[in-house]
Amino acid sequence: MTDREIEALTSFDFPIEHFHDRSTRWLLEDSDNVRGLLEIVAVNLVERLDFSRLLHINRSFIPDNLREQESDLVYRVPFRGESATDELLIYILIEHQSTVDPMMGFRVLFYMMQIWDFQRRELESNNVPKSVWRLRPIIPIVFYTGEQTWHTPLSLSSLMNLPDILSGFIPKFDTLFLSVKHTDTSELTRTDHPFGWLLTVLQKEHSTKEEIRAALMEAVTHIDTLDAEKIGQWRRSIFYLYLLILHRRPPKEHEELQTLIHKQMKEPSRREEGETMAQTMAEYLIQQGEEHGEKRGEKRGEKRGEIRAKRESLLKLLHLRFDPVPETLITKVSVMRSLSRLDTLFEQAVTAQTLDEINWENI
């Protein structure tokens, strides 16, 4: 394997319960897979978007307290059309909690508003005249991997006891929705895109060995038809399948299912590369398991100490600059666990003139 592929392995040092979140994000870092997702949920838009110029915006709009149950991705992409719109945004909300959230319609709108506000602040900081400000349209997509059937509408009106005469006062927008576990295989694979075939295997992550064997055989057979120009997409797809086996199937099945993948590859060079990939991954995970066993206790203690120190530093700075500090704010800071959020608040507190100038949202 190349150094780049070994580095990719290290990016998957995460707890098993975070597999859906981290692995889906990793898949969707590839513009080809973003296209594959759109081919499933909005095939009519695909040819209007220039995926070769898709740009990932490295920013999350999810509050710290919700990041255990969901994550998000934002992309900017050129739009091919006759209108004045030259670019739009794709917002993908990866929802991996097991239960259905009836507030999803509100949350999607809330995140969209934050994205537009982020764009507004960019325009403002760049001194763009307000007369030429234009906010980009957003295509919101909810990517749901939970087992429970989702019947709840993704609208604001469903959250209200709304008489018809007031319906015109409620914001309305479309949200694309994919329930991975409850979408027919034919719908996931209608364009034969590798991303759809990967999802057919994800559907069977907790099924019988016979069912996931069948899904793997069919998926790898189709993925292996990718030509040499798309070898990067082939590697990413096969790598994902190995990850799924290692993280979601019993250890006694690992070798058998990995061997099954190899046997579906027609070219000897690809088969050899797949075997090397699987072996390297297994060795890495064994090594990481040993190291984690030794370091877990030490790291937990170090992280708790670092969090405590940053809380104390932030509170000390707040008292020095803005005393008296409201008791409610002290309580919120005292229970914060995000190191990055504590760092951000500290930096803002250094330059702010008042407490109101600090962004206290989402703590």
In a domain, 96, yes or no: yes
CB 142 within 8 A of CB 154: yes
* Spatial separation of the C-alpha atoms in residues 125 and 64, rounded to whole Å: 26
The answer to whether residues 343 and 285 belong to one domain is no
Residue-level pLDDT at 48: 94
In a domain, 185, yes or no: yes
The answer to whether residues 225 and 333 belong to one domain is no
Q: Give burial (CB, 10 Å; 0-12/13-18/19+) of 76.
A: middle
CB 198 within 8 A of CB 241: yes
The answer to whether residues 98 and 223 belong to one domain is yes
The answer to whether residues 274 and 338 belong to one domain is no
In a domain, 174, yes or no: yes
**Number of structural domains the chain divides into:** 2
* Spatial separation of the C-alpha atoms in residues 197 and 201, rounded to whole Å: 7
Specify the length of the chain in residues: 363
pLDDT digit string (tens) for the chain, length 363 residues: 454 544 454 454 444 456 777 888 889 989 999 999 999 999 999 999 999 999 998 877 776 655 555 688 999 999 987 666 689 999 999 987 777 888 999 999 999 999 999 999 999 999 999 999 999 999 999 999 888 899 889 999 999 999 999 999 999 999 999 999 999 999 999 999 999 999 999 999 999 999 999 999 999 999 999 999 999 899 999 999 998 998 888 989 999 999 999 999 999 999 998 888 887 777 666 665 555 555 555 556 667 778 888 888 888 888 878 888 888 788 788 878 888 888 888 878 877 778 888 888 655
In a domain, 253, yes or no: yes
The answer to whether residues 292 and 310 belong to one domain is no
- Which residue, 245, 274, 296, sits at the end of a domain? 296
Residue-level pLDDT at 9: 45
- Which residue, 296, 319, 341, sits at the end of a domain? 296
In a domain, 162, yes or no: no
The answer to whether residues 273 and 334 belong to one domain is no
The answer to whether residues 136 and 279 belong to one domain is yes
Give the strands of the sheet with 55-57, arranged side by side.
55-57, 70-78, 87-95, 138-144, 176-179
Residue-level pLDDT at 328: 78
Both tokens of 197, joined, read: 């075939």
Q: Which domain holds residue 328?
A: 306-357
The answer to whether residues 245 and 268 belong to one domain is yes
pLDDT digits (tens, 9 = 90+) for 279-302: 777 766 666 555 555 555 555 666
In a domain, 362, yes or no: no
The answer to whether residues 239 and 311 belong to one domain is no
Residue-level pLDDT at 343: 82
The answer to whether residues 279 and 340 belong to one domain is no
- Which residue, 250, 271, 296, sits at the end of a domain? 296
CA atoms within 13 A on the CB side of 102: 4
The answer to whether residues 222 and 333 belong to one domain is no
Residue-level pLDDT at 292: 56
For the chain, give the secondary structure using H, E and C.
CCHHHHHHHHCCCCCHHHHHHHHHHHHCCCHHHHHHHHHHHCHHHHCCECHHHCEEECCCCCCHHHCCCEEEEEEEEEECCCCCCCEEEEEEEEECCCCCCCCHHHHHHHHHHHHHHHHHHHHHHCCCCHHHCCCCCEEEEEEECCCCCCCCCCCCHHHCCCCHHHHHHCCCCCCEEEEHHHCCHHHHCCCCCHHHHHHHHHCCCCCCHHHHHHHHHHHHHHHCCCCHHHHHHHHHHHHHHHHHHHHHCCHHHHHHHHHHHHHCCCCHHHHHHHHHHHHHHHHHHHHHHHHHHHHHHHHHHHHHHHHHHHHHHHHHHHHHHHCCCCHHHHHHHHCCCCHHHHHHHHHHHHHCCCHHHCCCCCC
In a domain, 301, yes or no: no
In a domain, 243, yes or no: yes
The answer to whether residues 172 and 260 belong to one domain is yes
